[in-house]
Structure 1
Amino acid sequence: MSAITESLVEHSKSAIIGCVELHNKPVFKFRYEVCTILAINGWELILKAYIAEHNPEVKLIRKDGTSKSFEECVAFVTGKIGNEFRAVEENLNKLYEFRCHIIHFYKDNIGTILYSLLHKSIIFYNEFLQKHFNIDLAEETNLMLLPIGFKPFVTPVDFLTKQSDLKESSNAVQTFIKSIIGSTEKLVQEGIEESILTGYNIAVVNENRIKNADIIAGITKNETESKLSVSNVLSAIKVTNDDSAKKVSIEEETLFKTVYTQPYLTIVKQAREIFSDFKQGAKFNRIMREIKNNPALHRKRFLDVVNKTGVGKDYYNPEVLNELAKHYKIKEK
Structure 2
Amino acid sequence: MQLVHKSRAACLSAVETYNRASAMYREETFAILMLNAWELLLKARVMKEAGGKPSALYAKRVRKKKDGTPSKRKEIIRTRSGSPMTIGIDKCWKLVAGYPNDSIDTLGIANIEALMEIRDNATHFVVTDALLRKKLSEISLAAVRNYVIATQQWFGVTFSDLNIASIPLSFDLDQKEVEAVAKKSSTMVSKFLSHMQKVEGALPKDESNFAFSVRVDFDLIKKKDENAVKASMVGSNDADLTVVVEQDNVPPGFTLRYHHLIKILKERYSNFKQNKKFHTIMSSVKSDRKLCYERYLDPSKKQSSKKSFFNPNAIKIFDEEYTKKNATLFEPEPS
Gaps of 5+ in 2: 60-75, 79-84, 223-235, 248-297, 303-335
Residue number in structure 2 paired with 1:8: 3
1:114 to 136, 145, 159: 136
1:182 to 198, 212, 219: 198
Change (3 A) 1:155 1:50: farther
- Say if 2:59 is the partner of 1:38: no
Paired AA for residue 30 in structure 1: Y
RCO comparison, higher one (Cα < 8 Å, 6+): 2
CA distance in 2, matches of 1:112, 1:201: 11
Moved more, 44-53 or 29-38: 29-38
SS in 1 for 2:56: coil
CA distance in 2, matches of 1:146, 1:235: 20
In the TM superposition, what whole-angstrom CA distance separates every residue of 1:273-321 from its partner, at most 9, and x where no partner exists? xxxxxxxxxxxxxxxxxxxxxxxxxxxxxxxxxxxxxxxxxxxxxxxxx
Shift of 1:158: 6.1
8 A contact 1:24–1:145 mirrored in 2: no
Paired AA for residue 6 in structure 2: H
- TM-score of the aligned structures, taking structure 2 as reference length: 0.54
RMSD (Å), alpha carbons: 3.4
Shift of 1:104: 1.7
CA distance in 2, matches of 1:201, 1:172: 27
Paired AA for residue 155 in structure 2: F
Residue number in structure 1 paired with 2:213: 197
8 A contact 1:108–1:169 mirrored in 2: no
Shift of 1:74: 2.2
Residue number in structure 2 paired with 1:79: 98
CA distance in 2, matches of 1:147, 1:49: 28
Higher helix share: 1
CA distance in 1, matches of 2:299, 2:58: 56
In the TM superposition, what whole-angstrom CA distance separates every residue of 1:197-235 from its partner, at most 9, and x where no partner exists? 112130225647968687xxxxxxxxxxxxxxxxxx895
CA distance in 2, matches of 1:145, 1:256: 30
Shift of 1:145: 4.8
- Say if 2:155 is the partner of 1:133: yes
Change (3 A) 1:120 1:107: closer
Shift of 1:37: 0.7
Shift of 1:172: 2.2
In the TM superposition, what whole-angstrom CA distance separates every residue of 1:246-284 from its partner, at most 9, and x where no partner exists? xxxxxxx98886xxxxxxxxxxxxxxxxxxxxxxxxxxx
Shift of 1:196: 1.2
CA distance in 1, matches of 2:219, 2:40: 38
Paired AA for residue 59 in structure 1: A
CA distance in 1, matches of 2:123, 2:146: 26
| Equivalenced residues, count | 211
CA distance in 1, matches of 2:192, 2:182: 11
- TM-score of the aligned structures, taking structure 1 as reference length: 0.54
